Structure 1
Amino acid sequence: MNKSILAEEFGEQLEAVTIGTPYAVDPDSDNFISELEQRIRRVMYNLWMDAQSQRLAKHLQRKQVAHFEELYEFSYGVPMYDKEYAGIPRDTESLAIRIIDEKQAFIKRNEHLYLRYERFKEITNNLPASSKQILVDYFEYRKKIDYELLRNTLKKHLKAIERIYKADEESKEAEAENQEDERQAKLGCKAYLINRRKVYMIPEDYAAHVERDRTERLKVYEQLGLAMP
């Protein structure tokens, strides 16, 4: 199980729940999907992925436990003949480093999955009890729900849910930008705004860029018979 499988399950569930409705999912159909319906389905997808993230996290935990047990066995000298392990370094120190790195990466991925599930719980807990029950039944427990009922429930709370996802996306983008700033700073680069674009350069290169730009502008002004401001 992985995120791709969850996405496929979402598509299958959506197709099943919309059968016989004006919103039926038909890949071969040219039926127009309204902007509102597109917004509802985007929110549905996000809610589905959030609600199922805990299930995925637990599955990955079980899988990783077995994986790390095999790595530990190998590190103690137990022969592993499976082709899957052909590329594993034979010395214990290298393997220990690999185990640590893999564990840290796994913990980070799973923390993200649990945070997504917590977001789903936060969204549904802030809804009226009747709306919460409908969304939890469909998105978390994958129960069959009348699509008109599900759609109307989402439509009622659409703007509020969209705001949460938009705020989280903006926060994620800001965090990624800060991380890139820190990474570039370690390389001796700073962020400069050039032609309305953020560009990372070392100060010396930026100074050279400014001088080239000034020289080019000076030539243009001279050709026009104007004084450089």
Structure 2
Amino acid sequence: MPNLLILAALPEEADALFPNTGTRDAGPIPLRHLTTQNHNLTIATCGLGKVNAALAAGLFGASADLILMTGTCGALGAAPGAYWIAEALQHDYGAVHPGTFRRYRAGDWPMGEAAEAHFTAMPDPGLGLPHARIASGDSFIACPQAAVDLQSLGATLVDMEVGAVAQAAARLGKPWAAIKAVTDEANDASGGDFQANLLRAARSAAVDIERFLLML
């Protein structure tokens, strides 16, 4: 029976997935274990940001057959709803030059000619969700000007974790996937919009993760 690791940054995002099921392990990274749909699941509430996400992926992903992430994100011009994350990059990894910031694929040597900066997810099994490239970084984006800059990278969504999960999965040699649902538009209203839409968006992403597991 396959072992799957599912990461969520926030408790609300983790608890939205197969709610009120499984056994819990308390600890620095809270875990919930359950068996469903012919899979052994470990759901880890990793915490916010790239370091927390990569730490959890490294600690628990080595024994997993697949690393997943569920949860929420901001929109960079994308419509509301849930998205299959086809590509992820880290928008704050690169090199600072006079008057410019040159982005590289996270973990690559940040010198010379920059190649594609993104990581590619496993193939979509046919969920019917729109595909997106997500830009991840250790900042909550609540600025239209910053959002426009991230759009120049081909990103239509923004968060603080998926790019790091993708990098960790690549280092471990594991396939990865993520489904995220929009809470806000990465503008000056994003703080309030995120809080208002967190539970709805978390459940939206979780429903599609549950559908995804049925297709594996």
Task: Name the TM tier (shorter chain).
Answer: under 0.3
Larger radius of gyration, structure 1 or 2?
1
- Greater helix content: 1
The structure with higher relative contact order (CA 8 Å, sep 6+) is: 2
- Greater strand content: 2
Which TM-score applies when normalising by structure 2?
0.21
